[in-house]
């Protein structure tokens, strides 16, 4: 099974996250496959827009938590993991000189949220649910969430959503500026494809230069923030709270951090 389903139509490359039995949670193979697909799209002149979505009922639940349980018994570094996986992925989404649209269906959480926030536009189904997710398993936000979420919805809202770990509804996401528009779930992909085609027929090189300007103005320290997130995650990953959170998550229980 391909973890990233690709289709090309109307100058648009659609990349569908395809791990539906785990709500499109990322394992390392899936992360590297998405990295590779983006690098290939960057090199192809016929690809003028990129659309990212998820198969099944979810965009992405973030990192596969079952892998974290295995990692806890090894010497694997969370910091090094981020350097090889999510950090270059988030940077590529921001630096690629082509428009990138996220078509967000169902659940989006954790690193999946970071990927969605790093895209240029977010079109969401009206039943989408956005959860920061990290603190629920005793971790700090990574994948650029610590920068991108406050930049989009404000520090106070970002702090509340992160500390509470409660989902943000699609309607609040729209009102707060996290997404560009909401559409009925059954119309999501068609609407996103129409927007992608409109952008693909436009001045793509100018869009790329505009992304560079926005990155310079709003996200000039993104690479530094990703590195700092990794440093903090290395510390959090060794904390007892993380072990408690992972065990509770896998048992579908509420964690007791007392």
> What phi, psi does 101 have (nearest 5°)?
-115, 135
pLDDT at 200 (0 to 100) = 98
Tell me which residues of the chain have a pLDDT lower than 70. Answer: 69-74
pLDDT at 116 (0 to 100) = 98
Listed by start position, the domains of the chain span 4-186
Packing angle of the helix pair 86-95, 110-118 (nearest 10 deg): 20
Radius of gyration of the chain (CA): 17
Which residues are within 8 A (CB) of 241 and not within 5 positions of it... i.e. 6 or more apart? 138, 257
Q: State how far the Cα of 26 lies from the Cα of 135, in Å rounded to an integer.
A: 18
pLDDT at 186 (0 to 100) = 96
pLDDT at 232 (0 to 100) = 97
The alpha carbon dihedral of 214, 215, 220, 222 has a sign of: positive
- pTM here is 0.95
Give residue-wise pLDDT tens across range 144-161: 999 999 999 999 999 999
How is domain 4-186 classified at the architecture level of CATH?
Alpha-Beta Complex (3.90)
Q: State how far the Cα of 148 lies from the Cα of 198, in Å rounded to an integer.
A: 26
Q: Could you give the percent of the chain with pLDDT greater than 90?
A: 88
């Amino acid at each position: 099974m391909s973890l990233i389903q690709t289709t090309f139509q109307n100058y648009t490359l659609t990349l569908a996250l395809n791990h539906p039995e785990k709500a499109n949670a990322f394992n390392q193979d899936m992360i590297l496959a998405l990295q590779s697909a983006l690098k290939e799209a960057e090199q192809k002149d016929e690809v003028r827009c990129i659309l990212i979505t998820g198969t099944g009922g979810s965009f992405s639940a973030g990192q596969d938590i079952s892998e974290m349980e295995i990692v806890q018994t090894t010497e694997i570094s969370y910091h090094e993991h981020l350097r090889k996986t999510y950090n270059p992925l988030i940077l590529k989404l921001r630096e690629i000189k082509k428009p990138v649209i996220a078509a967000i269906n169902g659940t989006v959480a954790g690193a999946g949220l970071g990927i969605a926030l790093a895209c240029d536009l977010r079109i969401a189904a009206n039943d989408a649910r956005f959860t920061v997710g990290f603190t629920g398993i005793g971790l700090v936000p990574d994948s650029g969430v610590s920068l991108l979420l406050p930049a989009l919805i404000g520090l106070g809202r970002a702090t509340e959503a992160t500390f509470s770990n409660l989902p943000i509804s699609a309607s609040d996401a729209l009102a707060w500026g996290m997404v560009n528009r909401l559409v009925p779930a059954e119309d999501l992909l068609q609407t996103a494809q129409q927007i992608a085609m409109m952008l693909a027929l436009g001045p793509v090189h100018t869009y790329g230069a505009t992304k560079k300007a926005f990155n310079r103005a709003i996200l000039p320290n993104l690479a530094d923030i990703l590195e700092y997130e990794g440093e903090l995650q290395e510390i959090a990953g060794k904390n007892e709270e993380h072990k408690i959170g992972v065990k509770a998550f896998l048992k579908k229980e509420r964690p007791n951090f007392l």
